[in-house]
Structures are given as C-alpha cells and as structure tokens.
Amino acid sequence: MEPHRDEQLAADLRALRPTPHPEFAAELDRRAAAGFPRRSRLPRPSFALPWRPSRRLLLPAGGFAVVAIAIAGVLIATHESEQEPTGGSVLGFLNAETPAEDTPAPTAAEEATGPVESSGEAAGSDGAGVMFAPESAIAKGSARHRAVERSAEMTLGADPEDVADDAAKVFAAVHANRGIVLQSSVEEGSAGEAGANFELLIPSRKLGDALADFSAIGEVRSRQETTADITAPTVTTTELLRESGARIDSLLGQLEEAETESEREAVEAELRQERRHRTRLRSDLHNLHQRANMSGVSLRIETGASEDSSGGGAWGIDDALGDAGHVLAVAAAVAVISLAILAPIALVGLLAWLTHRAWVRRQRRRVLG
C-alpha cells in the first residue's frame, strides 16, 4: 500500500464519515417536527445540577422575592422607628409626623372594664368627668396598656383683622371637642403686633380632631406634638394605693380588737396617717389620669410674616420639595435595605454559578485531555 497523501487521506476520512441509521434519522425528524418534546434518554452528567428551574419560573420567583424582601425591610425599619420615637431610623419621620391622632393610646383607667364604684375610698371621678375604675382593674390594665401623656403646640398665621374671628373659632373648636380653655389672650393691632395665645386642655381622645379643627382655622405655620409615657408612675401609684387600702383594712381590724384605750388611740393615729397617705396617693393617681386623659395644647395665632417660612402660603414649593425629599428618602431606604439583603445572596449565587461553570469547563477540558 502506498504512503498516504493529503488528498487521499482527506478522501478516505470523508468516506469514513459516520451516517445515522435511517430509523434514527426518521425518529429525529419526527421529534423535530413535534418541537422536540422532552424525552432525552441521555442521563445528565454527574456534575450537572439535579434540577434547573425554568426561566419562566425564575422571573416571577425573583420578583416575588424582591418584593417580599422590600416589604420585610420596610416593616423592620418601621418597627425599629416605633421602638425609637426620637427618629433613629431613616423612616422614623413616617411615625413622627403621623401620630395616632384618631386612636389615642388608651390610658390605664380608660381600659379598665370593671364596674365603677360610686362609693367608698377606692373609687372617684376626675374634674373632666372621667370615671375611675377599681384599682385592681387599673393595675391589670396598666400591665397591658400604656398610659401616655400627650401635648401639642401649634402656631397659626392670620391677617390682623381676622385675629378676633379666628380666636372665636378656636373657642368654638375647644367647646366642640369638650376641651377646656385654661388661659387665653387676644391682642389686636397691626401685622406683627396682633395675635392670640391659648393654653388649652383637650381630651386625649379628641386631640386629633381638635388639632384638625385648629388647622382649618388658618394657615398652619408650625405644629408639634410630644408624648411622654407615664405608665410606670401610674402603675406604681396604683399599687401603693392598693397596699394602702389593705393597710387601712388591717388597721380597722386591729381597732376592733383593741382592748385598751391606749391601744385604740395608737391604732387610730396610725389609721389617720394612713388615710392621709391614701388621700395623697389618690390625688397623685388622679393627676396622672388627668395627664393621660387630657392633653395640653398651646395654640398661638400670629400675624405678619412667618419666622420659619420666607414664602408664606399654605403649601408652597418648599413644602413640595420637602415632601419629595421625604419620598426619595423612603425609596432610598427601601432600596438600600433590599440591596443589603439581596446583594450578598446574589453574590453567593453568582460565585456558585461561576464556580460550577468553571468546574464543568475544566471537566470537559480534561476529557479532551
């Protein structure tokens, strides 16, 4: 046999070209016509992933995961801002600017559902007509609910000639909300001189409505609300009051059993002292309930240009920019939170995918060896 030449070798190789069996070719044609239904009997390579999700599933699943993580981030941020009312979180202003006006926090006394005693030393009523519940019920209620003292400051802008009318509207609003005007002063004059000041007590349940009514009177130039948790002193005073009652009952028992005059006098002296102590406690508790039930509002009507705003007006471009800034801050916070959660996951997934891909390529190169 002659040595192989290039052309001859190429011809021989082409002649050795494998051809598919007609049955296989026909079967493959049939499958091609049917759009290659999944039937491959070729086992997956040992280094392939056991299950590969389709892209149709990946897209909605990924979107759902992003939305869920974003919502979780917002909820976490909101929860943290509730824990920290002074505003440690970027989202803190959401809560700081939207207090629960319509649903003021119920006080311990308001939450007590037991029957109100109309006689005896354990019951009473405050000046605003709020009835006190039994002390035991108060104690239980205090354990479950918070007693919160609320106060507000508001400044309204008005024209000098409208000050008197606006002051009358303030009185009407206070009356409509069953509030009390502790102090008021109305000054007439030119712009900057004319104005009015009010010190008000508004039922805490009505504080939101009252502030809304005041806001409707004129241009709101400033509004500030503060809250203080007085649950601890309320609970402590309630407990002391209960102990005092028990002490008085005990002393009354001792008084009945006293046999000598000196013993009786000693017990009576102690009883008087304990009753005075109890009276003080009841007064303290009454004040605490008063603070929780009634919110102090300092309202001021001023004339002339606002000290804080150069443009004036109810709602201007500065307010719009401020609102836009807040919205952007919230969006940025959500994006940052989502990114902080998703980025490590995506990075790990990317690294795993790259590692797997590199390993598969290496295995294929090794096969070519």
The footprint of other proteins (CB under 8 A) covers 1-4, 6, 8-10, 12-21, 24-25, 28-29, 31-32, 35-36, 38-48, 363-364, 366-369
Rounded Cα distance between 248 and 240, Å, is: 12
Please report, as a single letter, which amino acid is at residue 327.
Answer: V
Give 4 or 272: the residue with its C-beta nearer to other proteins.
4
CA 217 to centroid of chain Cα atoms: 30
Rounded Cα distance between 66 and 70, Å, is: 6
CB of 52 to other proteins, least distance (A): 11
- Edge-to-edge strand list for the sheet holding 180-187: 180-187, 195-203, 294-303, 148-158, 219-229
Give 26 or 66: the residue with its C-beta nearer to other proteins.
26
Tokens of 243: 């102990």
Tokens of 38: 């999944």
Give 29 or 263: the residue with its C-beta nearer to other proteins.
29
Give 48 or 216: the residue with its C-beta nearer to other proteins.
48
CB of 362 to other proteins, least distance (A): 10
Rounded Cα distance between 302 and 191, Å, is: 8
Give percent helix, percent strand, percent coil of the chain, each to the nearest 5: 60, 15, 30
Residue 121, sorted as left (phi over 0), alpha (psi -120 to 50) or beta, turns out to be alpha
CB of 366 to other proteins, least distance (A): 8
Give 42 or 317: the residue with its C-beta nearer to other proteins.
42
Tokens of 183: 């102090």
Give 57 or 367: the residue with its C-beta nearer to other proteins.
367
Give 41 or 144: the residue with its C-beta nearer to other proteins.
41
CA angle 150, 153, 156 (to 5 degrees): 145
Give 32 or 57: the residue with its C-beta nearer to other proteins.
32
Closest CA to 157 of 190, 195, 186, 197: 195
Give 20 or 313: the residue with its C-beta nearer to other proteins.
20
Rounded Cα distance between 165 and 186, Å, is: 11
Rounded Cα distance between 284 and 126, Å, is: 12
CB of 364 to other proteins, least distance (A): 4
User: Is residue 352 within a helix (H) or strand (E), and if so which, with residue range?
Assistant: helix 317-368
Tokens 């601890």 sit at which residue?
A: 232
User: Is residue 23 within a helix (H) or strand (E), and if so which, with residue range?
Assistant: helix 22-33
Please report, as a single letter, which amino acid is at residue 132.
Answer: F
